Amino acid sequence: MKDQVFGVLQRIGRSFMLPIALLPVAGLLLGIGGSFSNTTMLETYGLTRIMGPGTFWNALFTVMSQAGDIVFANLPILFAMGIAIGMAKKEKEVAALAAVISFLVMHAAIGAMIAVNGGTDALKEGAGAMVAGIQSLQMGVFGGILVGLGTAWLHNRYYRIELPQVLSFFGGTRFVPIVSALFYVLVGILMYFIWPPVQAAISGVGGFVLRSGYPGTWFYGFMERALIPFGLHHVFYIPFWQTAVGGTMEIGGKIVEGAQNIFFAELADPGNTRFSVEATRFMAGKFPLMIFGLPGAALAMYQAALPEKKKEVSGLLLSAALTSMLTGITEPLEFTFLFTAPLLYGIHCVFAGLAYMLMHMLDVGVGMTFSGGLIDLFLFGILQGNKKTGWLWIVVVGVFYFLMYCAVFLVLIRKLDYKTPGREVGAAAKLYTRSDVEQRKEERKETGPGQTGREKSAGKTGTRSGEILKGLGGPDNITDVDCCATRLRCTVKDEKKVDESVLKATGASGVIKKGKGVQIIYGPQVSVIKSDLEEYMEKYGDESDEGDSHELIKSPMTGTVILLSEVPDEAFAGKMMGDGAAVIPDDEYVYAPADGTVTFVFPTKHAVGFRTDGGHEMLLHVGIDTVSLSGDGFEAFVHDGDHVRTGDKLLKADIQKIKDKVPSLASPVLFTDLPDGLEVHILKYGKIRNGEPFLELYNKEKQEVG
């Protein structure tokens, strides 16, 4: 039961992300437009003559402000659509249409009930509102959430319904908007009676939170971070941002509910001189964390890294720190120490609560659209002026947070010997919430935008999507696929079939399992991964991969993967010696790519013949024309007939010594005697480390059928 509840909450949380994704763009328009059409700001900076009323620039910025404001004014209907899309299993566009119709019908029914029961005069002050041009009750985004959830439930239940022949035209997806509209007529009537006491209760909760003062603000900040590992933080903070739980205020003659809505209503008000701290207390605390605190943690992890690993880890940590500072996307850093040092994450949550509380105590009135990075700080803090926002306190507290995070993390990492990036002997440095950044850069260079080279060349299950499908236990084990800002969120039938190691090999930085809910952390590019996976499942999901794959070969070297056609040797490039790929090595060692037997070691020790336990003959050849070196610079660790395990050392090549003596260091890895019907798929291009999936044999005939 608990797992089912988690799964539902997870799906609701991710469905929030579609309407929330609009907010940065709307906030950008409103932030710039509202700032440069605000009379107080224009007078402060002496811009009234250039941008004041009646000028071209004033007209332009007014248009921008109104364009951004309309999004925030209609968030309830956007939430209705977004949640319906997120919760619908199939035919999501039908669910979205049904949600819009249901939303309008519900409020029309409420409006009719208000009219026949004495009109707005019979309502309590602040209980009514104009919604999409309809006089209705002030339901805020709760109304949208109610419609989205209900419509999605009706959609999933009836989108495949078969009606009697005479009514068959109205069956299937056409039935969903019809039944939804009828259902929400009844809901609207019920809401007229039910919502006022619910509204009073919500306002009471909001009043309690607001009266709780600084401790309440600390608790909010603590919980907002603490729920991130479970993916439930959206469910927690959205009510504060978008409903009366986060406060209610009259602005420009209108009642506005929700901390974020209050902030942006004030931003759009030309006469506003100071932003409400009672609203921004639920947002401003992010700025010291994202811009200063977590980069301090990144510096601590760099300083704690082993000396020989610092160069390797610096690029990863710098990239993650800049991501946090600019955009406020923190998971690449947060999950790194969540998985390697849980105590540090607990301390981080405490510091987060403290940041929110300090911003509240110092009357900092800076809001945000989504993230809390430098972009939001510039638009909604610096641009608005210190008098309206008190943004300078963010810098003061932020410097303290940078030093505090750096000192605390560095001491604890060293004292408790946490294996943060760069501290594991013999292991490659990586972040646990972002795949190797440099590796992805190289891959993008190899493949360009759109479909990856891996997907073009690796065939059906050689793709990332195919590997994700395997890691989730196959298509039959998956009941739902969706994503939020950084995570692929899936629901599975049998959680025991989920293979975390396979999922992490696809570039995932972390995997969280909670019952039947699985969250795979990829970072901001997750929406593309999700779309690729859904397309892949539609194309291949009904086929079983069992029996298609004959052998998986790990990379015997660390380096850069290239095609055989790029090898400067006609015999290898023409595949006369066999099929496979080549690696330009970065280090000296050659490892066993699979369990198998060494069939021969060349006398010059530059190449090894190998037979896998699956019976396939291979050749591992270091460099081109290295036979001419007569073994100089090479060392063998095995002999003919030795049986080895995957990852055992086979050869050592002194790269620095031989690189200037041969045409190329490109090292072919070949299957030399493939049976008919089998073909080689390259699983990875660009940068690769020894032990990572590299080549795979597949049944060609079954592949062509797919």
pLDDT tens, residue by residue, 6-17:
566 666 666 766
* 119 and 30 assigned to the same domain: yes
Point out the least confidently predicted range of 456-465, 557-566, 576-585. Answer: 456-465
In this structure, are strands 559-562 and 579-585 parallel, antiparallel, or unpaired? antiparallel
* 691 and 668 assigned to the same domain: yes
- DSSP letter for 605, please: S
* End residue of a domain, out of 541, 571, 587: 541
Residues 108-145: b if buried by 16+ CB within 10 A, e if exposed: bbbbbbbeeeeeeeebeeebbbebeebbbbbbbbbbbb
* 461 and 568 assigned to the same domain: no
616: its two tokens: 């396939």
Using CA atoms, how far apart are residues 57 and 39, in angstroms rounded to an integer? 13
φ and ψ at 258, to 5 degrees? Answer: 95, 135
* End residue of a domain, out of 541, 570, 603: 541
- CB-count burial class (<10 Å; 0-12, 13-18, 19+) for 156: middle
Using CA atoms, how far apart are residues 471 and 473, in angstroms rounded to an integer? 5
* End residue of a domain, out of 518, 541, 564: 541
Q: State the average pLDDT over residues 563-581.
A: 86
Identify the CA nearest to 268 among candidates 67, 416, 461, 118. 67
Between residues 189 and 508, the one the model is more confident about: 189
Write out pLDDT tens, residues 625-667. 998 898 999 999 999 989 999 899 999 999 989 988 998 999 9
pTM score: 0.51
- DSSP letter for 247, please: -
Q: How far is CA 668 from CA 547, 564, 571, 576, in A?
A: 27, 7, 11, 12
Q: Is position 505 within any domain?
A: yes
Assign residue 528 the CATH number of its domain. 3.30.1360.60
Q: State the average pLDDT over residues 172-184.
A: 91
* 37 and 161 assigned to the same domain: yes
Q: Is position 221 within any domain?
A: no
560 strand-pairing partners: 584, 687
* 189 and 71 assigned to the same domain: yes
* 558 and 465 assigned to the same domain: no
Mean pLDDT of the chain: 81
Which residue segment(s) compose the domain that 456 sits in?
447-541
Identify the active-site residue in 360, 550, 616, 621.
621
pLDDT at 461 (0 to 100): 35
Contact 6, 517 (CB under 8 A): yes
For the cut 80, the answer to whether the pLDDT of residue 100 exceeds it is: yes
* 574 and 687 assigned to the same domain: yes
Q: Is position 49 within any domain?
A: yes
In the chain, the number of structural domains is 3
Q: Is position 126 within any domain?
A: yes
Q: If you compute the radius of gyration of the chain from its CA atoms, what whole number of angstroms results?
A: 30
For the cut 50, the answer to whether the pLDDT of residue 2 exceeds it is: yes
Going by pLDDT thresholds of 50, 70 and 90, the confidence category of residue 109 is: very high
Assign residue 651 the CATH number of its domain. 2.70.70.10
CA atoms 224, 230, 236, 238: torsion sign: positive
Annotation marks residue 484 as catalytic: yes
* 460 and 579 assigned to the same domain: no
Identify the active-site residue in 349, 406, 484, 490.
484
Q: Is position 568 within any domain?
A: yes
pLDDT at 170 (0 to 100): 83
Annotation marks residue 681 as catalytic: no
* 75 and 153 assigned to the same domain: yes
Q: How far is CA 656 from CA 178, 318, 371, 664, 665, in A?
A: 73, 29, 46, 12, 10
Residues 475-490: b if buried by 16+ CB within 10 A, e if exposed: bebbebbbbbbbbbbb
If you search the block for the tokens 């402060």, which residue do you land on?
Answer: 44
* 485 and 555 assigned to the same domain: no
Write out pLDDT tens, residues 471-525. 888 877 888 888 776 788 888 888 888 888 788 878 787 888 888 888 888 877 7
Q: Is position 465 within any domain?
A: yes
* 451 and 517 assigned to the same domain: yes
Q: Is position 491 within any domain?
A: yes
Write out pLDDT tens, residues 352-369. 999 999 999 999 999 887
Going by pLDDT thresholds of 50, 70 and 90, the confidence category of residue 189 is: very high
Where are any strands of DSSP class E within 592-672? 596-601, 607-612, 617-621, 634-636, 643-644, 649-653, 667-671
* 58 and 201 assigned to the same domain: yes
CB atoms near residue 704 (< 10 Å): 10
Q: Is position 275 within any domain?
A: no
pLDDT at 91 (0 to 100): 83
In terms of residues, how long is the chain? 706
Q: State the average pLDDT over residues 158-163.
A: 82
